[in-house]
Structure formats: C-alpha cells, structure tokens
C-alpha cells in the first residue's frame, strides 16, 4: 500500500496521534500464524489473565475491549442498577469526551462536581452522595475517577484509598478510568495495582491505545463474582472481539514486561521537558501541574493559531486562551525543543 501521510509530521494534540509501538506490531504479527479459538478462547487471552492477575491481584478478571469508550460504558453499566447514578467531576472523560455514551447507551445518570485540579475528594463526593432511598432521586452507586485526570493531574495512592473507603462506606463502588493509568503509575513510582485494586478500587478501565497499542483496552474486575455480569454486557454492548487474540496479544506486549513503564515514562519525561522549555516565557501561563504527560497553558491572543501552522494541538478552554499539549511514547527531545523554540519565536514576533 502507498503511504498516504508524511511521517515527519509531529504534534502535541493527543497521545492518540502516535502510531503503534514496534514491539506491539511484532506481537500482532506473531499472533497471526495459524488458527486460534475465537471470542477469547485462545492462548493469548488465557495468558493475559495470568499477567493481569500479577498486576491487579489473584481475583482479577480481565476483559479485552476495542476502545476506551467501550471500556467505560461496559464497566460502569456492570457496576450499577438500572436506577443508579455515577458521581464524577465536571471535567471527567466519561462526562465531557464520550459523546453522551454513558447516558445514551448505558442509561446512566452522571452527577458532576466541579474540581479545579480535576480530582475528586471525599468531601466533593458528598456534594452528590445523598438521596439514598428516595425514589424521586437517582441513586448514587459509583464514584468514577480518571487516572491521570483530564487535567494531567495524578491521584496519590492515599487519595485513591480514601475515596475507596469513603465510597464503600456509603454503599457505593469506585471505578477508575485508567486510559492513562500507566502514566500515573510511573509518575508515582508504583505498580498498576498499587494505585487501583490494592487500594479498594472495584473496576479499572485499563488503557492501551494512548500508550502505543493499535486499538485495544481492557476492563479489569477485582471481584470474581462480577465477572459473569461483564461477560454478558461486553457482548450486549458490542465490545466482544471475535478475533480477540489480536487484542490480547497487544495487551500482553504492553503489560507482560516493562513496555508500559518505558513508554509512559518517556511520555511523562517529554512533558516535563516541554514545561521547562516554555515556563517563564512572557505571556505564557501554565495552568495545571505537569504530573503525567500533559501540559496546560494560557497563551496570548493569536499565538496558538500561529503555532498551529506547524504543530497540531487542541484548545482546552478557547474562551480564555487555554491549550493542551500532549506527549506520547514516540515524542522525541528534538520534537519538544523544536516546539519550545517555535513558541519563543511566535511570542517574540507578537
């Protein structure tokens, strides 16, 4: 096939813009020979269960799915009754970036709470955790957090543990949307389970695509009794892969060794380098802590448009000139330095 894009094009719009990691492509090729059972009855999906139990605990069950939206919808749907509601922040991915899928597909009421740093606390949960037993009120059933958050911030293990204890004390469950869980774990210097299931998290949406996979995510359930519910819902919500070995092979490539750490750690380091390259420049105001692989900044009028002539990136809050710059596993130091130099040049010209 003829290549249709310029591979030299670089940007900071999203870690989804990056291609697949070469080790992941090799894993897909290796899984391609011969015949294997379909719908998860294959050697790769079986091996994945063992690998994930090593990360998340002996009782963990793992369900590969096609994408993060599917992971969030199926996971949340499995955790609540038909009349249940989910508490999350106003900036949570399940609220602002899923096209209404939790509401439209799963029929879930989202109860949102403002948070300046994108993180929930037990006190913020309590703003919406009320009305239990009132038939006129959607029943709060799940607390959902994003790790790392949509603002690039990271929950500490202590913060996650406190949320799990608080949610369980209210008869609720805790869900982690972990599309960038690897970035958070590396930033914290802990394992994947040490920031989720080991702290009382009930279900994890485990990311892959943003960390170098072609198109594979997973739902990890801590309670074996909930596994049967996921078995039926995954099919019902059109997230059951017939040739699942290719999803599982990707996840194995990422999580059976240290690729998840290497890739996420590199992305985080590039974001730190980018922040250092623009911090203190006149007219640039950094708006969030850079704790994972994202940098948020407010730029003077017209600067973002000039920069986009050469680099892709998104507005976060266009009304106040706030933009988001994301780094990925294949972002290079040269990419970062060239972009920081472009910021300086455009500011000087302005």
CATH code of 260-349, in short, is 3.90.1150.10
11 in helix, strand or coil?
strand
pTM of the model: 0.96
Q: Could you count the other beta carbons within 10 Å of the beta carbon of residue 133?
A: 6
Whether residue 182 contacts residue 264, with contact meaning beta carbons closer than 8 Å, is answered with yes
Q: Tens digit of pLDDT for each residue in 160-217? A: 999 999 999 999 999 999 999 999 999 999 999 999 999 999 999 999 999 999 999 9
What is the pLDDT at residue 1? 86
- Closest residue by Cα to residue 96 from 149, 44, 142: 149
What are the residue boundaries of the structural domains of the chain, listed by start?
22-257, 260-349
d(CA 236, CA 234): 6
Tell whether domain 22-257 is in CATH 3.40.50.1000: no
Q: Could you count the other beta carbons within 10 Å of the beta carbon of residue 227?
A: 17
Whether residue 206 contacts residue 178, with contact meaning beta carbons closer than 8 Å, is answered with yes
Whether residue 52 contacts residue 218, with contact meaning beta carbons closer than 8 Å, is answered with yes
Q: What is the distance, to the nearest Å, from the Cα of residue 208 to the centroid of all Cα atoms in its chain?
A: 8
What is the pLDDT at residue 124? 98
pLDDT at 148 over 90: yes
pLDDT at 294 over 90: yes
* Residues paired with 175 in a beta bridge: 144, 203
Residues 6+ apart with CB under 8 A from 332: 270
Whether residue 226 contacts residue 94, with contact meaning beta carbons closer than 8 Å, is answered with no
Average pLDDT value for residue range 266-291: 97
What is the pLDDT at residue 226? 86
Domains 22-257 and 260-349 share a fold: no
Residues 6+ apart with CB under 8 A from 310: 342
């Amino acid at each position: 096939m003829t290549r249709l894009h310029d591979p030299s094009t670089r940007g900071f719009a999203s870690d989804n813009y990056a291609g697949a990691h070469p080790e992941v492509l090799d894993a897909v090729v290796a899984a391609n020979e011969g015949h294997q059972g379909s719908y998860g009855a294959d050697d790769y999906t079986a091996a994945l269960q063992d690998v994930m139990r090593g990360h998340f605990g002996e009782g963990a069950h793992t369900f590969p799915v096609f994408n993060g939206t599917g992971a969030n919808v199926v996971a949340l749907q499995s955790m609540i009754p038909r009349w249940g509601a989910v508490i999350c922040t106003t900036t949570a991915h399940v609220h602002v970036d899923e096209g209404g899928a939790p509401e439209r597909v799963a029929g879930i009421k989202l109860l949102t709470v403002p948070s300046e740093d994108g993180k929930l606390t037990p006190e913020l949960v309590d703003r919406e955790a009320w009305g239990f037993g009132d038939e006129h009120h959607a029943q709060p059933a799940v607390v959902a957090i994003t790790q790392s958050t949509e603002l690039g911030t990271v929950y500490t293990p202590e913060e996650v543990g406190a949320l799990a204890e608080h949610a369980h004390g209210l008869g609720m469950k805790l869900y982690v949307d972990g599309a960038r869980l690897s970035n958070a774990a590396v930033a914290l210097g802990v394992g994947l389970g040490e920031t989720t299931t080991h702290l009382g998290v009930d279900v994890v949406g485990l990311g892959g695509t943003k960390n170098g996979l072609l198109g594979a995510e997973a739902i990890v359930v801590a309670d074996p009794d909930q596994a049967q519910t996921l078995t039926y819902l995954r099919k019902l919500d059109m997230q059951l892969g017939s040739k699942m070995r290719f999803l599982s092979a990707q996840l194995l490539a990422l999580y059976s060794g240290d690729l998840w750490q290497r890739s996420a750690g590199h992305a985080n380091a590039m974001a730190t380098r980018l922040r250092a390259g623009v911090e203190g420049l006149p007219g640039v105001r950094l708006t969030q802590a850079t704790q994972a692989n994202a940098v948020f900044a407010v730029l003077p009028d017209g600067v973002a448009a000039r920069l986009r002539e050469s680099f892709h990136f998104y507005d976060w809050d266009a009304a106040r000139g706030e933009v988001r710059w994301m780094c990925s596993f294949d972002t290079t130091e040269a990419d970062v330095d060239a972009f920081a130099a472009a910021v300086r040049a455009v500011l000087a010209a302005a």
